[in-house]
Amino acid sequence: MDDSTRKTGVAGHIAPLAFLIMLLASAPATGDSLTVAEHARSFVHPKLRWPKDATFVGAGVAMIAGSRLMDVSVRPVPPEGFDPAVLSWSLDRDQVGKLSPQAADASDIASAASVAYPMVIALVSQPSGERFTGTLRRSVIYLESFLLATGTSSLIKNSVDRPRPYTYVPENQRQDPNYDVTKDEAFQSMPSSHASSSFCGAAFAMTDNLLTRPHASWPERVGVAFTGGFLAGMTSVLRVSAGKHFPSDVLAGGAIGMASGITVPLAHHYVTPVGKRGPSPSRGAWTQAVGGLLAGVGGGILAAQAFD
């Protein structure tokens, strides 16, 4: 990737954020906490603060920019492919040989759905008069989560230079353009960016729903978390079935995405237009949501087996 492309990519992340933050005014100062009954009748949104939000965005953009300035170590791959015996984990060695362009295409679709999912949930869950501004506020927080997850994954990916699974496959089995071992991409396996972005979306949707609607019924909590987990689990397994990543790659990417998708919204106050804090989700609510997420991941893994 040349310098002009790198600069354009970073600018593409900064421009929408600058527009959103200028468009959205910060909420009033935080007051007393609301009861659950009051919260049910009140529109609650994440409170935006310039210093905090600029720090999150700046950190994410800096990591993305820094990763794009790093050189990827591309090594010559022998016709017979690299020796799988050098792989430390048997879990990874067992996946060598899987090459499915169809799974690669399907993983892109599932990943795109995972990334869009939190904003779809935010849009449909807002009161009718607040759908636009409420979703915009959440999009700022979600962008922060996404940039941090993407930046972390990119930095690790471009510094580790791990060969992808298809570099361990004989040349006569990787004729598809998806498996070109001469490109930088062939040595950017760890961690999986698809997994980090999809799990970021799943974790953010779950956490934002809990913070915004702690009064919601348990089927709603479980359903929101389950759907996000299903998309993330399917995306991750499809990346392995495609021969693009090892299981350890998607595990690492998933952990990065989960951490970012949960911690960033928790670092913000969720308040009403008059500045009152919404109640924190109960331990039971968290248990139900996390259980739904894990069940969804399991369902996504099973659904993705069709491409094996």
**Mean pLDDT across the stretch 7-11?**
36
Cα–Cα distance measured from residue 251 to residue 191, given in angstroms and rounded to the nearest whole number = 8
**pLDDT mean over 90-102:** 92
Backbone dihedral angles phi then psi of residue 182, each to the nearest 5 degrees: -95, -5
* CB-based contact 210:286 (threshold 8 Å): yes
Cis peptide leading into residue 247 (ω within 30°): no
Query: pLDDT tens for residues 251-282?
Result: 999 999 999 999 999 999 888 767 788 778 89
Mean pLDDT rounded to a whole number for the chain: 85
Decide which of 127 and 136 is more confident. Answer: 136
Q: Alpha-carbon distance 145 to 189, whole Å?
A: 22
In this predicted model, what pLDDT tens digit does every residue of 37-47 receive, in sequence order?
444 445 678 88
Higher pLDDT, 153 or 15: 153
Q: Report the SS3 class of residue 121.
A: helix
- 140-187 pLDDT, tens digit each: 999 999 999 999 999 999 999 999 999 999 999 988 888 999 999 999
Residue 9 identity (one-letter amino acid): G
DSSP 3-state assignment of 80? Answer: coil
Q: What was the pLDDT predicted at 9?
A: 36
pLDDT level of residue 24 (50, 70, 90 thresholds): very low
Please write the tens of the pLDDT for every residue from 283-306. Answer: 999 999 999 999 999 999 999 987
- pLDDT value at 76 more than 60: yes
Average pLDDT over residues 223-246: 97
The residue with tokens 């609607």 is 213
Other Cβ atoms less than 10 A from the Cβ of 82: the count is: 18
Q: Where are the domains of the chain?
A: 3-307
pLDDT at 134: 81
Distances (CA, A) of 25 to 32, 44, 50, 118, 170: 21, 15, 10, 22, 57
Residue 234, H or E segment = helix 218-241
Predicted local distance difference test score (pLDDT) of residue 12: 39
Express as a percent the part of the chain with pLDDT over 70.
85
Question: Which of the pair, 215 or 157, is modelled with greater confidence?
Answer: 157
Separation of alpha carbons 287 and 114, rounded Å: 22
Burial class (CB in 10 A: 0-12, 13-18, 19+), 255: middle
Helix axes 50-68, 131-160, angle to 10 degrees: 40
